[in-house]
Amino acid sequence: MDPVLHLTTSTTSVVLDVRWGLPLIVHWGARVDDAEARRMVDEVSPRPRAGVVDRPALATVVPMHGDGWLGHPGLLGRHRGGSDWAPRFQTADVKVNAVGDGSSHATVTSADAHARLQLVTDISLSVHGVMCVAVRVHNDSPMKYLLDELTVTLPLPSTATQLTTFHGKWCEEFQSQTFEWPFGAWTAENRTGRTSHEQPPFIVAHESMMGAHDGHCWAAHIAWSGNHVIRAERQVYNRRYLQLGELLNPGEVCLEPGESYSTPTVIAVHSSNGLQHIARTFQRHARDIVGTLSPRPITLNTWEAMYFDHSPSKVLALADVAALVGVERFVLDDGWFKGRRDDSAGLGDWYVDTTVYPDGLAPIAQAVVDKGMQFGLWFEPEMVNPDSDLYREHPEWVLERTGYEHVLGRRQLVLDLTRADARSYVYSRIDSLLSELPVTYVKWDMNRPHIAAAGRSGTAATHRQTQALYALLDDVRRTHPTVEIESCSSGGGRMDLEILHRVERFWASDTNDPVRRQVIQHHASWFFPPEVLGCHIGAPVAHTTKREASLSMRCATAFFGHMGVEWNIVDTTSTEREDLERAVAAHKALRHVLHNGEVLFTDALRATGGHRLVHGVTSHDMAAAVLAFVQFDDYSTDTIVRLQGLDPRRTYTARRVMLAHDDPVVENEEAWLRSLSQSGHAWATVGAHFPTLPAESTVLVVLEGS
């Protein structure tokens, strides 16, 4: 058996050594030739150290304690009675397949004849340079196998001295921190039952000099919408590895004889040229997942316009103004269904509330369509209020341990979708409404975490609930293939590349505060393209933070994404409506660039300590670009902005995009715009000065190349 597996594209190589029972990633980075790949594998050997085992185990994709691995094992489990808890695998089979588009794929089967277990590792490398890894454990024994953990391990070189990790909370998603990779293990565990605000499943290891365009970095994502764990360990002798997988609650996965469990896919990208390449590669992969999208409709969502205060006249008045300012999709949010006058009741009773809408929603929906807009509807299918007909009829449908007092979150409980009867009920109600009404869009919300989530047998059930969610979404998509779905979970609580197989949009945060949104959207764009990130123009005073912001700042922030409105525009002034119409028109004129191009990153945020941000998008042919210069506070020190990713041979002419009457004044604007009118080569080497701007303001600029 040839020990060398070499997956390669024009820019990237993954070199694996299959001699160690499980595949060992020897190199994951810049492209090497076959001779260099073989040399790398030939040089692999365990290096015994004083005081440890004579042949230390290596950081294979699933390192095993039974082989002498003294870090965290990749597989934790045992057969009934506690046996076979430290198995040892031998390579049994290797298959390599080239894919027509330039991608490649390998499957390595490893077996432990004594424990009667199999591990099957699937590794692929896409034409874009995206590495995907998943592992499946199969129980070949006649006994049950209790699985505690199965993760994917990615070894990294000692030059990866820094970590950038992500954290957050409601209305403050995708916050980042960068720190030196310490000795020992850094661990993030998500137990919320969703992708989570607190520990989003992304990590970047990198060199200390890493920036927007410089330095090697290795980014990894666990594509899963339930619980997960991420570890980054630095061992003695400076060995480093990342470990990602599903976090399983006690007893959650028990494999009967002949059964298997597969890890979620770990999606990983290497860059030799800083973060911009990481973001562009992840975004290309996300676009491959979501497929070709129509131009993203300007979307008005009714939540912050009316909350639970619904009436047909209010909805129709809002729709009238929405159509006038250029809105293309009108979404009726929470409050339309039976008994739903606040958040304490009604979840689960997915019937139109005829006390609010005596004629149902059909006249409302048709009126929206007649005004030239699509009609969308809000659901929270995974939840139930104790104060609901559904709960009174089926209290046993709650995903929670029996015999204990309920643990409420937002005055609601999780509905047990692992039950076929509960899932069938939810599907039937969604299917009925989507069939009866001209609905082309569903906002799918999920507003509370799992607490002691258990199925009818009493065993932990978040794993099966996540699979059941996927199955329910798949059923809805199969029956209603033209209906688009938004993943919302109290904002950005469920944003990952697995749920993206089933949705076209993420609601990135429940806050429309543009200052907070700028940072949230910037960090989210490391992994997701702008067209799947919902970004709305909110009210003058943000509902969530009470910050007052200019209309210009709010419009400019929503500009870079799937643009929308979440504001009672019935009560706006004529000037505000004119400005809103202008901003919407400007976005429509540029969304062919914004939603199909390549992101442009700069080092402004890091260089200014978080005081300024410059970001943008360039068209694929680099003929045009849209840039945002964002000033967060009164920071005034001169900042040089450099862009890589423009055509070095083109000369670009800069023009400002005016959005509203309160657009910020730029000192010496004409001279500043002339300084931006330079070649792509000059942008990359000389750069341009950040303008003098007031705090909490943004200037948009279009570069047009010739």
Catalytic residues: 445, 510
Question: CA–CA separation, 566 vs 549, rounded Å?
Answer: 14
Contact 599, 561 (CB under 8 A): no
Contacts of 690 (CB under 8 A, 6+ apart): 604, 612, 614, 629, 638, 639, 640, 641
Contact 559, 663 (CB under 8 A): no
Length of the chain: 706
Question: CA–CA separation, 679 vs 693, rounded Å?
Answer: 24
- Cα separations in angstroms, 192 against 296, 409, 450: 31, 12, 5
Question: CA–CA separation, 84 vs 75, rounded Å?
Answer: 11
How crowded is the C-beta side of 480, counted as CA atoms within 13 Å? Answer: 23
Task: For residue 76, list its beta bridge partners.
Answer: 149
Characterize the bridge pairing of strands 439-444 and 484-487: parallel
Task: Give the 3-state secondary structure of residue 26.
Answer: strand
Taken in order 238, 244, 247, 248, the sign of the CA dihedral is negative
Instruction: Please tell me the chain's helix, strand, coil percentages from 3-state DSSP, rounded to the nearest 5.
Output: 25, 35, 45
Residue 465, Ramachandran bin (φ over 0: left; ψ between -120 and 50: alpha; else beta): alpha
Question: CA–CA separation, 235 vs 153, rounded Å?
Answer: 14
Contacts 24+ apart (CB under 8 A), 582-587: 582/658, 582/659, 582/660, 583/537, 583/555, 583/559, 583/659, 583/660, 584/298, 584/325, 584/326, 584/327, 585/326, 586/559, 586/657, 586/659, 587/298, 587/558, 587/559, 587/563
3-state secondary structure 390-416: HHHHCHHHECCCCCCCCCCECCEEEEC
* Residue in 248, 159, 268 with CA at minimum distance from that of residue 203: 268
Angle between helices 312-325 and 574-594 (to 10 degrees): 60
Query: In the numeric block, which tokens belong to residue 267?
Result: 């999606």
**What residue type is 246 in one-letter code?**
E
The H or E element spanning position 167 is strand 162-169
